[in-house]
Amino acid sequence: MAEAEFIKGNEAIAMGAIEAGCRFYFGYPITPQNDIPEYMSRHLTDVDGTFIQAESEIASINMLLGASSTGARAMTSSSSPGISLKQEGISYMCGSQIPGVIVNMSRSGPGLGGIDPSQGDYFQATRGGGHGDYRTIVLAPHSVQENYDLTMKAFDLADKYRNPVVILGDALLGQMKEPIRRRKYRKKEFPKDWAMTGAKGRKKRLLKSLYLSEGELTDHNWMLNKKYQSMKREIMFETQFMEGAKLVVVAFGSVARILKSTVQMARDRGMKVGLFRPITLFPFPSAALDKISHSIKNFMAVELNTGQMLEDLKLSVGHKKNQVDFYGRPPGSIPSPDELFHEIKKIYKKRIG
């Protein structure tokens, strides 16, 4: 095993990307993710890669579209307002089936909001975000190690499905430092028989999203939908203390990380609380939650927003008269494990006694 190194969350993403063979990075500065472009600008040259500080997030996403269209591994990163600007490009990439990795170290909104950690972009990330009926795979790390590991995975998934993959972190996950273990990445090769390489000795290729003939776009949308459905096999989640649990707290990303301490506190006090952490937000681990809901009836979503993932949780377990409670902390401050314990205790008392 490699020795542990102390790394900043944002840098772990950049390192993971380069190790996964990302050779093109396009971005526009925005707090709290600037360590990513800064790292890329310094280290991509070591591997003959290209870094461009673009004129905007719009330009960045379209440069990503262009570079990825040649079959190369490429990435852009930003934070919430910048991710809003990228949405049209992401929609085109989905429509044209062009892979690419998009990192959102999200900050608080709406508008300029602030730079605090926030999970307010859950809907934007998991519902497509831009125009048209499309989805991106969304990975939600909760530690620096996962920032690194999931970034590598993101490149494989993007190539595998010919689809953009979003990594949804936040200011907390970008800024904190933690030891990580580097691992040897084995690149998975996927056929790139669609890539722009010049029509040498073969028929020309087209990457486009415009379909005008009768029925063509209907078929295209169903084909894409089938692909999004097939992504279910990539579902990832983590559970803790599920044995005999009477209340399952469901949370992702930074707040799930804080909740790990909270749930431990609850168990120490004899409360039967478990933790369910979705790692893929799209596709959402609905089937797993549904299964759990056959034996456990009480769920509680905790998010750094006013209730977004909550809807997916309700869709997954909301039938059969299960109880789904919610604690939301919109951006401005991060809840401590104690505060969260207090909130969980309230629900636990109400539902279980």
Partner 1 sequence: MKQTFKRPKALVDIPFHFCPGCHHGIIHRLVAECIDFYGLREKTIGVASVGCSVFLYDYFNADVVEAPHGRAAAVATGVKRASPDNFVFTYQGDGDLAAIGTAEIIHAANRGERITVIFVNNTVFGMTGGQMAPTTMSGQETTTTPFGRDLETNGFPIKMSELLTELPGSTFVARAAVNNPKNLMKAKKLLKRAFEVQTNGEGFSFVEFLSACPTNWKMTPKQATERVQEEMIPYFPLGVFKGGQE
Residues that bind partner 1 (CB under 8 A): 23-24, 26, 50, 52, 54-56, 58-60, 62-70, 72, 74, 88-89, 92, 96, 98, 196-201, 204-210
| Residue with smaller CB distance to partner 1, 207 or 249 | 207
**Rounded least distance, CB 202 to partner 1, Å:** 9
Instruction: Decide if 124 contacts 85 (C-beta within 8 A).
Output: no
| Residue with smaller CB distance to partner 1, 131 or 269 | 131
Residue 143 is given by DSSP the state: S
| Residue with smaller CB distance to partner 1, 2 or 199 | 199
Residues whose CB falls within 8 Å of the CB of residue 129, separated by 6 or more in sequence, listed in order: 83, 87, 90, 91, 136
| Residue with smaller CB distance to partner 1, 60 or 262 | 60
**Rounded least distance, CB 241 to partner 1, Å:** 46
Structure tokens at 141: 């790390």
Sign of the CA dihedral with 331 first, then 336, 341, and 346 last: negative
| Residue with smaller CB distance to partner 1, 62 or 298 | 62
139 forms bridges with which residues in the sheet?
A: 167, 280
Nearest to 224, CA basis, from 136, 146, 331: 136
Residue 306 is given by DSSP the state: S
237 forms bridges with which residues in the sheet?
A: 278
Residue 179 is given by DSSP the state: E
**Rounded least distance, CB 221 to partner 1, Å:** 17
| Residue with smaller CB distance to partner 1, 204 or 321 | 204
Angle formed at CA 351 by CA 345 and CA 353, multiple of 5 degrees: 70
**Rounded least distance, CB 71 to partner 1, Å:** 8
**Rounded least distance, CB 142 to partner 1, Å:** 31
The neighbour count for residue 270, using CB atoms within 10 Å, is 6
**Rounded least distance, CB 30 to partner 1, Å:** 17
